Amino acid sequence: MTALASGQIRFHWRSSSLLAATSIAGIAAFTWPLFTRPRGSENLAHSGDAPWVFIVLVPLLVAILLSELADGALDAKAVAMLGVLVACGAVLRAPTTGVTGFTGVFFLLIPGGRVFGRGFGFVQGALTMFASALLTGGVGPWLPFQMLCTAWVGFFAGCLPRAQGRSELALLATYGAIAGLVYGLVMDMWFWPFGTSGTQLHFVAGAAITENLRRFWAFHLASALGFDLPRAAGNALLVLVAGTPVLAALRRAARRAAFGAPVHFEPHGP
Amino acid sequence: MRPRSVHPLAWWIWALALATAALRTTDPLLLALLIAVAWLVVAARRSNAPWARSFGSFLRFGVAIIVVRIALQMLFGERLPGHVLFTLPHYAMPSWAAGVTLGGTVTTESVVAAFNEGLQLATLIACVGAANSLASPYRLLRVVPSVLYELGVVVTVALSFAPQTVVAAAGIRDARRLRGRPHRGLRGLRGLAVPVLEGALERSLDLAASMDSRGYGRRGDLTDRRRRAGQTATLLGTLAIIVGVFGVLDSGAPFVLGLPMLGVGAALLVASLRAAKSSSTRSRYRPDPWGLPEWLTVGAGVSALVSLVAAGHLGIDGLHPDYSPLVAPALPLLPAIGILAAAVPAFASPRPPVETT
């Protein structure tokens, strides 16, 4: 198990620092309304531009990070494995994008990140959202943010502590529930500045963080908590019901693919 | 004109130009005109592929956004003076729900303002939906920059595996039903998920073997030093852009940290992308042509955007209707003509080829 947990896509210092930088920019892209400070009219104009700056910026950063992670790290086996898991994830999402907020995306992503490691989980999460958006015709400005969010879910699934058997299942189910809630919270944070101007729920540039957080919490309660609870419960339930065989299948595939096996080329003797 | 599909990037540029145009106005008539233009072009030029039907769901999503926006305004809106429509019962939420007050008087002005802002978002979504229905995702994947080649391959594999997965799942479900095993609900899901996943993983190993035997993963003749230089440029460019964003958003920061930093970062990134591209030795199979219809499409989209930006700078009235006093929305001539010009691809671009599958 330990040999598999080391994962297929490894992080060296460059991709780690790029991941850190992108994540900081990503956090800024989600939470900027909390930190704007009105000082003169110029800033007010810019705080209107901020969401659009991020809509241009985040896809660029996600693309760079993914290309850096994939650079030389993806051999044919990893490409095929990722492709298949992304396909299954996208198919799982297709019938579940409805009104309840429940989505099947995390169901494969969490075991995938767990078995193949955090780098794999990151790429798997991002590409699952991308492929399912292409399949269902859901490409839009929100897509890079969903990709980043889902990629984080896969990344942290690969960072979970070691556990086995029932405790591993409980760990993954709990993680699935929390990830479902946090995913909704973060995506709400992204949508927050767009839909609420002129109400008590809109952020106030320059107000204290606590005041803006209070407004955000009200918006979250009003708009989306109804979606998040089914998603969290659904994630946990799916992992509990089918987690064990799925984990076993993935581990078997990882062993058969022998990701860690070194390849030697020896000159052919005369 | 011979039927052929217009370059997907042309559709996306056209649609994003329309969407950006929608951001420049809150006039309901102009926004409705934008939606109508997008609708017309989609109706005239969409193919019969599955993704071409997505425009309708984007429109429904837009309507939902308008409804939610008005509902939020009625329940949580700031109570401003105006013509009172009706009064909702007043209720102060408990403190765990942030102490927001619910209900109160609802004025015509606030409802109209909420409708216009909701319509703006809905227009944006309709434009994006138009691009989704007009541009083929498969062709779009083929224009992915060569830096993202590996990931493009992953997504291509996923897109071609997805229909097979659906077929396999249906087959396994039928087999379980015939054997009298549970095929619905949670137990059915469990019995379904594992064989589907096992089969898919099995196929992935076959695919990997066949990719390996056909020479996948060959790397160009890039020296290590140039590769490392490119990667360092990427990293520095990203950092510069992040600093730049904070510089732009925080007016207290020195000017150098704002737009100039963003420019430096963008330049570094473009340079590293170009370096990676010039070293790539991959060729494209039957690349999509970029001809007159593509230029027309892009030009049509940009005309709408330019007309709205110009109207904004010329100070033409009616781009942002007043709410106090409430006046009937106007239809400014220059932006209206620009938006109508964006409908040109509905007549001037070639029809999509009829797919025989």
Give contacts of A108 with chain B, Cβ < 8 Å: 197
- Single out the residue of A151, A153, A213 nearest to residue A181, CA to CA: A153
Q: Does B167 touch chain A (CB under 8 A)?
A: no
CA distance, residue A195 to nearest chain B CA (Å): 6
Tell which wins on pLDDT, B95 or A26.
Answer: A26
User: How is residue B355 annotated by DSSP?
Assistant: P
**Residue at A270 is within a domain:** no
A199 bridge partner residues: B77
Query: From its phi and psi, is residue A269 left (phi > 0), alpha (psi between -120 and 50) or beta?
Result: beta
pLDDT of residue B15: 92
For the cut 90, the answer to whether the pLDDT of residue A66 exceeds it is no
The nearest CA of chain A is from the CA of B336 a distance in Å of 24
Question: How many cross-chain Cβ pairs, A to B, lie less than 8 Å apart?
Answer: 264
| Complex ipTM value | 0.78
Q: How far is A46 from chain B (nearest CA, A)?
A: 6
Chain A's closest residue to B127, CA to CA, is: A140
A5: pLDDT strictly greater than 50: no
Kindly state whether residue A264 falls inside one of the protein's structural domains: no
In this predicted structure, which of A198-207, B10-19, B327-336 has the lowest mean pLDDT?
Answer: A198-207
Query: b/e per residue, A100-126, with b = 16+ CB within 10 A?
Result: ebbbbbbbbbbbbbbbbbbbbbbbbbb
Note whether B197 contacts A: Cβ–Cβ < 8 A: yes
Tokens, residue B183: 């095929």
What are the pLDDT digits (tens) for B197-208? 888 888 888 888
For chain A, what is the domain count? 1
Do B77 and A199 lie within an 8 Å CB cutoff?
yes
Assigned domain for A44 exists: no
What pLDDT is recorded for position B34? 94
Nearest Cβ partner for A195 among B78, B121, B205: B121
B106 phi, psi to nearest 5 deg: -110, 120
Indicate the residue type of B330.
A
pLDDT of the residue at B357: 45
**Average pLDDT value over all residues in chain B:** 81
Q: Does any domain span residue A220?
A: yes
Residues 6+ away with beta carbon under 8 Å from B322? none
Q: Residue A46 — very low, low, confident or very high, per pLDDT cuts 50/70/90?
A: very low
Longest dimension (CA), chain A: 82
Is omega for the bond preceding B321 within 30 degrees of 0, making it cis?
Answer: no
Angle between helices B224-249 and A40-70 (to 10 degrees): 160
CB-CB under 8 Å, A134 with B121: no
pLDDT in tens, A164-175: 888 888 999 999
Which of B198, B209, B269 has its CB closest to that of A249?
Answer: B198
Cα Rg for chain B, rounded, in angstroms? Answer: 26
Is residue A42 over pLDDT 70? no
pLDDT digits (tens, 9 = 90+) for B306-336: 898 888 888 787 778 877 777 788 788 888 9
Which of A252-256, A263-267, B41-45 is least confident?
A263-267
pLDDT at site B14? 93
CB of A185 within 8 A of CB of A152? no
The answer to whether position A151 is within a domain reads: yes
Confidence of residue B41 (pLDDT cuts 50, 70, 90): very high
Identify which of A199, A222, A223 has the shortest CB distance to residue B78: A199
Per-residue pLDDT tens over the stretch B336-345: 999 999 999 8
Position B299 scores a pLDDT of 92
Overall residue count recorded for chain B in this entry: 357
Whether pLDDT at A118 is above 60: yes
**A41, part of any domain:** no
**How far apart (Å, rounded) are the C-alpha atoms in residues B234 and B145?**
15
Residue A29 belongs to a domain = yes
Q: Give the CATH number of the domain where residue A196 resides.
A: 1.10.1760
Q: Report d(CA B27, CA B34) in Å as an integer.
A: 11
Per-residue confidence (pLDDT) for residue A31, from 0 to 100: 77
**B110 neighbourhood in chain A, CB within 8 Å:** 198
A40, part of any domain: no
Of B72, B132, B159, the CB nearest to A201: B72
Give the DSSP per-residue string, A200-262. Answer: TTS--TTS-HHHHHHHHHHHHHHHTHHHHHHHHHHHHHHHHHHHHHHHHHHHHHHHHHTTT--
Give per-residue pLDDT as tens, B170-183. 888 888 889 888 77
Beta strands in B76-124 (DSSP E): 84-92, 101-107
Pick from A54-63, A230-239, B175-184, B330-339: least confident: A54-63
Q: What pLDDT, on the 0 to 100 scale, is given for residue B290?
A: 84
Bridge partners of B106, per DSSP, are: B86
Nearest to B290 by CA among B5, B1, B3, B2: B5
- By residue range, what is the domain housing residue A26? 2-35+52-257
Q: Which of A80, A136, A246 sits opposite B208 (nearest CB)?
A: A80
As a whole-number percent, the residues of chain B with pLDDT over 70 amount to: 87
- Choice between B196 and B75, residue whose per-residue pLDDT is larger: B196
Give the residue on A whose Cα is nearest the Cα of B217.
Answer: A75
